[in-house]
Structure 1
Amino acid sequence: MIDRHGTSRLIFRNTRSLIKGFPTRKTYFKKLKLPKTYKDVYDNIKNIPSFKYESIISPELLISSQNGWCKVDPRITWIEELLSQDKRRKFLLICSNALTAQNIGLHLKRETSLKISLFVESLSIIERDRAAAYFAEPNGSQLLICSEIGSEGRNFQFTNNLILFDLPVNPDLLEQRIGRLDRIGQKSNQLNIFIPYFTCSPQERLLNWYVKALNAFNDYVSSSFKVFKHFEKDLFFSLVNYKEVELSNILIKKTKVYRERLIKEIEKSRDYLIEINSSGQGYGIELKESIIEEEKHNLIKYYAEQVFDKIGILLEEIDETIYKVSLSESRLFESFPGIPDKGKFVTFNRKTAIENEYLTFLTWSSNIIQNAIFTYLSANSYNISVLSTKNSNYKHGNFFIEFLFISNPQVSKKSNINSYFPTMPIRVLINEDMHDISNNLSAKDISENSKLLDKKLSLKIFQFISKHLSKMEDFAQKTADKIHQKEKNISINRMHNIHEIKRNRLLYLMSINPNISEGELLSLDKEFQENKKLILQTDIYLDTMHIIVNDIN
């Protein structure tokens, strides 16, 4: 049943109605009179060359004086009044065009004392990050003005007020706009959506279609885009002929019927086994609690401070939970993956990371931490200690050197190599006659019957043994390499056997389950080859050396 229905596979679908934690939506429509400037443009809309949807929803782009439209557009005055009611409330404003966003920002900065940030395509990534960060600050900007670039990728859960300066024609894009605030993690229980629109205009016809035909502001379903594509030409025609109200009403009725039919089809196609499996059955709560408990102690920050200092990464405190990582002049490397020359802003605090998307959230699995661990472990240095032991099987004064090598495969984000070839120690014990006696004297025997010598005596013994050290280390390295290669072969063979089982299972499932594609088979094969390559490329390095002197007197 699991294989046939796919409940153990990668494909699962959750619907919004099944997931708790989303805020409710409350929509505020502001009806405004169409300015004469825009009315004149709309009256001749059919004569505009290269006519596009953007021309319908953004009349400010069609007038000859594009820099002066803010003075005659009542939406601007309404925004000023809305923001002035309570300057503690933050608002995200999204519009379709970057030029529109820039003009709004320039006008409000020039004519009001409001704190404004701008987020448009013409800004660099760093400038957009700064704008988003300033908006996130408690005393930062009250209004962040975004072009459509702000509809995707950025999340602003710390505010619950969204202004849709215009409406996109694509319902998926509308949902993406709302989704910047309406998502799990939203601090407020209610999301406020403000929509200004002009009466007797294409904007009003589009708004009616969204509200009456799609119920788009309250009940988004996956069929909305399919509905849009089905009626795209009719919708376009209705918006161009916006004065013909009956035409709009007919479109709304047709759309509503078609949408309801699609919803029923989707409901019939629901796979309840998949939904049950993907819901987590409460295990997510347990996982969440364990993560919260672990992050209370902030061990990752303490560890990062220690290992960064060892390998030459500077950790500078900017704020209580914000830091800057950069490369010091005494670093052990030329460059470091994940940290540019100018440095990077990071945080160890999950809440801070959610509220400030320009920050990199450092966890045990993040690339910077993983690379720092690998750099530290693979540095060309190792620990040396001198011990004395008591073993009647060897003469007094005999010495041995215990070498501990570490095999540490490089792990990528997509790799699961640790399942087959985890980090492993390789122990080699060499006596003064250059023989491997690892099996004769175990690590446990040495640990239980040995003690560290004081610094003065250790130095004398080290000086005496140093003339043998190079040869013994070379011999130990060759011995460890042979052991390591044997472990590699064992791991690759084990991985190959598991791969064949998975591959045969996929081939069987492909014959009975249409959800399984050829791409999954190729992905499985690619994963095997990449893991094999990582295993073969893995080297060992010397981590610890114990010089052991037998003292049986």
Structure 2
Amino acid sequence: MKQNDLVVGQRWISDTEPELGLGIVVDLDARAMTVFFPCADDTRVYARQNAPLTRIQFMVGDSINDSDEQRWTVEQVIGQDGLLSYDVIDADGNTKRLMEARLSAQLHLSRPRERLLAAQVDSRAWFALRQAALRERLQQARSPVRGLAGARVGLIPHQLSVANTVANRLSPRVLLADEVGLGKTIEAGLIIHAQRVQGRAERVLILLPDSLVHQWLVEMRRRFNLAFSLFDLERCAAMAETGENPFASEQLIIAPLSLLTDHPLLHVQALAAPWDMLVVDEAHHLAWSPEHSSIEYDTVAALAAAVPSLLLLTATPEQLGVESHFARLQLLDPARYPSLDEFMSAHEQWDETRALADALLDNQLSATQTALLGQQLADLALDLSAEAGRQQALNALLDRYGLGRVLFRNTRTAVGGFPARDSQPVWLDAPECYAPWLAKGAIWPETRVDEESFLAHDPRIAWLTDWLKSHRRDKCLLITRTAAIAEALETHLRLREGIRTAVFHEAMNLLERDRAAAYFAEPDMGAQILLCSEIGSEGRNFQFAHHLVLFDMPDNPDQLEQRIGRLDRIGQTQTINLHVPLLKNSAQARLYRWYDEALNVFARCSPTAQSVHEAYIAELKPLLRPSSAEADLDGLIHEAIGERELLEADLASGRDRLLELQSCRQDIAQPLVNALTEQDQDTRLDELMLAAWEAFGVHVDDQGQPRTWILQPGEHQLIDAFPGLDPEGMTVCADRDLALAHEDWHFLTWEHPMVQGVLDWMSTHTQGMVQVAVLRNKSVKAGTLLLEAWYQPSVLARRDLALDRALGHEPLRVLADVHGRNLAAQVSAPNLAKQLDVPDAKLARSVIKAHRPEAELLIKGANQAAEGALAAHREQALATWQALEETELKRLLALAEINPSVREAEITQQRERVAAGAQALADVTMQLTALRLIIAA
């Protein structure tokens, strides 16, 4: 595409999304072109350089439709000032000049015919690759795990249950409130990824505390292949000079919330940009009370009111308190939660429902509760004395539980499977150079001296060296506050002690961090110890290791839990050994006692620790000084223990087991795990990609591990940029467990950008469209001609409807003979393929030239057969659509009768969706995708 030839009014088609139909250029500037696609009612903005678009120009003899869908034949093509017009004639002999702007947007290309008649034949490999790619596009569109399969995550039931439930909604607005360590970020990433794959969310804004920005950026890219752009003040200021709204320049944006609260103009610009989804982490820090709301809360509330989908990640409701919990819910649905008083009233009703659920689960229904259930579930004939009847009652309560649709909260107790923790303090004598700083109560005296003194005198280094040398076979993760300490320790251990080390901190780029993590993960010759800074370790999990060295102590328990959480994850198989080297009579030693005795954080993950810590922090600080009386610290610890135990008792009594069941529906989760496991084990992906790499000229080396390959751009690659291939090369792995263990490898799935890129490329380019074959069958007369044709069902509609789910598993195959018959039912594709040889290109071209009239006749017969099958195909597609979407509409309507949390907007959207899909499917066509001319020998 020549950017200087662009003119408003030109017609273009998307190479990657042909289903958008024929677009028209509506605006141009120095860097971008804006194209409107009428069929999809969608406007896209592309960079003028390298836009994935193709200029449409019809030739003399082509049949085209005008915007009134009247059919014309092109007699002459005229070009003027960059625009085309066509002299056309219709079947009645009427003529006119048709400007390209008046062309129908419903463009259906049948290029295989033109290529066959022009004797443009393809190799056996390309033809097979095209067939496989088009078939897989149809099959993957109907996958029950579509949108969930592409993430580099373990198959953890509660995460998949939440993600599937939320991602399948239209414009979901939910609160994700799992306990720490259960994967709220992964759930959010799965939802974002699935909604994008399904076409339901294109533009996503994630707002975060400053400290979490880089963690999320890494997680989204590494786990979900979501290339978010990081927005900060410098970037926004640079774009402001162009007069553009910076938030309209990218589709996926991560920004610190402070960027909007500190700069009102940027908040206004963020509001002005169109978003499909807003995600806010640490939402419990958005302060609100009936008397006053913070600027952070107001900023998010304004965006939440303007954006259709909203994900709030927050602490558990018990930690929030009722007022704060209400404030989060009001962000989600202000109509459902208009006031705190009404919420308190509803809360009492929910307490009653929860009590019924507890009694059902424990099989301890009282007579009063049995009668109450009978009244509430009068429409169900329940036998509560039987297990099946109690389960049916429980399912009915789940449907009626208002909070269960907007709040998802999994607990460690309900999920289970977490390891034990074993805290092992090591008491060491403090060096003289630390004495003046320790006397002042410094928690981190090593930061007050130069590196040389630190390395020469800190006793923790000698202890660490001895421990590593006596545990050569054990992997060890060390976390310290700063990158400087991590680097100093790594250099010392590697150069002076000969220990295999890796370092990991925030100053390293993503590739360097991945390589360090991979070196640490290598079981035999990898690093024995990975030394991490506080920030550098965020978002990374190393559950294959069982030893964690806390070289220093963070100053709040949440940060300490973040450290331990790098190992304390689902999937950890052994007790976590927490090694804590401490300087005697120091602030760190006292802080350890506080964390261990008062907060109990070394024994288990404590949901009350941060609350108790904040309540006592003012009293604790002076007691950290070694000069303060130990007895005073003993007293404060004793008081804090009492407060913690009271909070823990309140949490236990307020445990919402009904919500826990709703947050992890085993009837949803287990089939998803099974389907994903089955897909992971299917090697069709390997076969297709190996064929694609060979066809395109990508250099491939077997890595040595199962289903793992090293890819490099080939010297004679067919295209300059193979989809998804890094210019410097990359390692891809189709084994989930191996990909999880090697973070520098790409996890290859049907949803990986490389695989999607190949499928898209094959559907929009001409390679593999045409083949000539020789039939070796003595029962068929020599010289007999057959034509094997494949048709892909095609429908032009909004992408978010995902109508490809209704279009069938396989392309339509026609086997036409010169008598106008379709023999596909009598001769299967596999049986026919066994009898075919593919001649060289020269012979193939001679066959076509010798039989061109018969080939045209065969194509016409094949097209007629496809047209004849179209009505039945449309009927089946519509039936499939109704089974999918009308069923969902009926479910929502029934649910709304008993659950007020079903928003009217959801029902309206679903009604519109059903109607729009049915209307589009009425116009399904068959697009010719490949032709094989067969001549009997």
TM-score bucket (shorter structure) = 0.7 to 0.9
In 2, Cα distance between equivalents of 1:545 and 1:474: 14
The residue that corresponds to 2:561 in the other structure is 175
The residue that corresponds to 1:163 in the other structure is 549
The residue that corresponds to 1:41 in the other structure is 437
User: 1:426-441 maps to which residues of 2 (within 5 A)?
Assistant: 426=812, 441=822
The residue that corresponds to 2:421 in the other structure is 25
8 A Cα contact 2:475 2:529, kept in partner: yes
The residue that corresponds to 1:91 in the other structure is 476
Q: Could you tell me which of 734, 738, 741 is aligned with 1:352? A: 738
Q: How far does residue 77 in structure 1 lie from its aligned partner after superposition?
A: 1.5
**Aligned to 1:252, what secondary structure does the other structure show?**
helix
Q: Could you tell me which of 441, 446, 450 is aligned with 1:65? A: 450
1:109 equivalent in alignment to 2:490: no
Residues 98-157 of structure 1, C-alpha deviation per residue, up to 9 Å, x if partnerless? 112122223333432222211111122222222222222212222111001343222223
Q: Which amino acid aligns with 2:541?
A: N
Instruction: After superposing the two structures, state which structure 1 stretch, 14-23 or 4-13, moved more.
Output: 4-13
User: 1:133-532 maps to which residues of 2 (within 5 A)?
Assistant: 133-137=518-522, 138-187=524-573, 189-239=574-624, 243-276=628-661, 300-321=685-706, 322-376=708-762, 378-380=764-766, 381-382=768-769, 383-385=771-773, 401-407=787-793, 419-421=805-807, 424-426=810-812, 441=822, 443-445=824-826, 447=828, 462-467=848-853, 469=855, 490=878, 494=882, 497=886, 500-501=889-890, 504=893, 511=900, 513=901
Residues 178-201 of structure 1, C-alpha deviation per residue, up to 9 Å, x if partnerless? 2222223335x2221100112222
Q: Which amino acid aligns with 2:703?
A: I
The residue that corresponds to 2:512 in the other structure is 127
Instruction: After superposing the two structures, state which structure 1 stretch, 130-139 or 465-474, moved more.
Output: 465-474
Instruction: After superposing the two structures, state which structure 1 stretch, 287-296 or 175-184, moved more.
Output: 287-296
TM-score (norm: length of structure 2) = 0.47
**Aligned to 2:590, what secondary structure does the other structure show?**
helix
**Aligned to 1:89, what secondary structure does the other structure show?**
coil
288 and 60 in structure 1: CA distance in 2 versus 1, 3 angstrom threshold = same
CA RMSD in angstroms, aligned pairs only: 5.0
325 and 521 in structure 1: CA distance in 2 versus 1, 3 angstrom threshold = farther
8 A Cα contact 1:101 1:147, kept in partner: yes
In 2, Cα distance between equivalents of 1:232 and 1:453: 81
7 and 303 in structure 1: CA distance in 2 versus 1, 3 angstrom threshold = farther
The residue that corresponds to 2:342 in the other structure is none
8 A Cα contact 2:786 2:858, kept in partner: no
Q: How far does residue 369 in structure 1 lie from its aligned partner after superposition?
A: 3.4
Q: How far does residue 161 in structure 1 lie from its aligned partner after superposition?
A: 1.1
Residues 480-522 of structure 1, C-alpha deviation per residue, up to 9 Å, x if partnerless? 79959968995997476466556656766762x4xx7899899
8 A Cα contact 1:307 1:376, kept in partner: no
Q: Which amino acid aligns with 1:326?
A: Q
In 2, Cα distance between equivalents of 1:519 and 1:147: 46
In 2, Cα distance between equivalents of 1:518 and 1:261: 41
Q: Which amino acid aligns with 2:825?
A: K
Instruction: After superposing the two structures, state which structure 1 stretch, 301-310 or 493-502, moved more.
Output: 493-502
8 A Cα contact 1:499 1:528, kept in partner: no
Q: How far does residue 5 in structure 1 lie from its aligned partner after superposition?
A: 2.7
**Aligned to 1:357, what secondary structure does the other structure show?**
coil
Instruction: After superposing the two structures, state which structure 1 stretch, 203-212 or 271-280, moved more.
Output: 271-280
**Aligned to 1:216, what secondary structure does the other structure show?**
coil
455 and 82 in structure 1: CA distance in 2 versus 1, 3 angstrom threshold = closer
In 2, Cα distance between equivalents of 1:481 and 1:57: 79
403 and 350 in structure 1: CA distance in 2 versus 1, 3 angstrom threshold = closer
1:542 equivalent in alignment to 2:929: yes
8 A Cα contact 2:502 2:520, kept in partner: yes
**Aligned to 1:69, what secondary structure does the other structure show?**
helix
In 2, Cα distance between equivalents of 1:143 and 1:287: 36
In 2, Cα distance between equivalents of 1:126 and 1:91: 22
In 2, Cα distance between equivalents of 1:222 and 1:409: 51
Q: Which amino acid aligns with 1:358?
A: D
How many pairs were matched up? 522
**Aligned to 2:515, what secondary structure does the other structure show?**
helix
Q: How far does residue 168 in structure 1 lie from its aligned partner after superposition?
A: 1.8
460 and 431 in structure 1: CA distance in 2 versus 1, 3 angstrom threshold = same
Q: Which amino acid aligns with 2:929?
A: L
8 A Cα contact 2:401 2:899, kept in partner: no
501 and 117 in structure 1: CA distance in 2 versus 1, 3 angstrom threshold = same
8 A Cα contact 1:406 1:543, kept in partner: no
Q: Which amino acid aligns with 2:571?
A: G
8 A Cα contact 1:205 1:242, kept in partner: no
In 2, Cα distance between equivalents of 1:373 and 1:36: 67
Q: How far does residue 529 in structure 1 lie from its aligned partner after superposition?
A: 13
In 2, Cα distance between equivalents of 1:538 and 1:104: 66
**Aligned to 1:444, what secondary structure does the other structure show?**
coil
The residue that corresponds to 2:126 in the other structure is none
Q: Which amino acid aligns with 1:177?
A: R
8 A Cα contact 2:806 2:877, kept in partner: no
402 and 132 in structure 1: CA distance in 2 versus 1, 3 angstrom threshold = closer
Q: How far does residue 165 in structure 1 lie from its aligned partner after superposition?
A: 0.6
In 2, Cα distance between equivalents of 1:225 and 1:37: 33
Q: How far does residue 79 in structure 1 lie from its aligned partner after superposition?
A: 0.8
83 and 441 in structure 1: CA distance in 2 versus 1, 3 angstrom threshold = closer
**Aligned to 1:77, what secondary structure does the other structure show?**
helix
In 2, Cα distance between equivalents of 1:328 and 1:289: 38
Structure 1 vs Structure 2: percent identity of aligned residues? 29
In 2, Cα distance between equivalents of 1:252 and 1:523: 55
8 A Cα contact 1:407 1:423, kept in partner: no
Q: Which amino acid aligns with 2:608?
A: S
8 A Cα contact 2:501 2:531, kept in partner: yes
TM-score (norm: length of structure 1) = 0.75
8 A Cα contact 2:710 2:731, kept in partner: yes
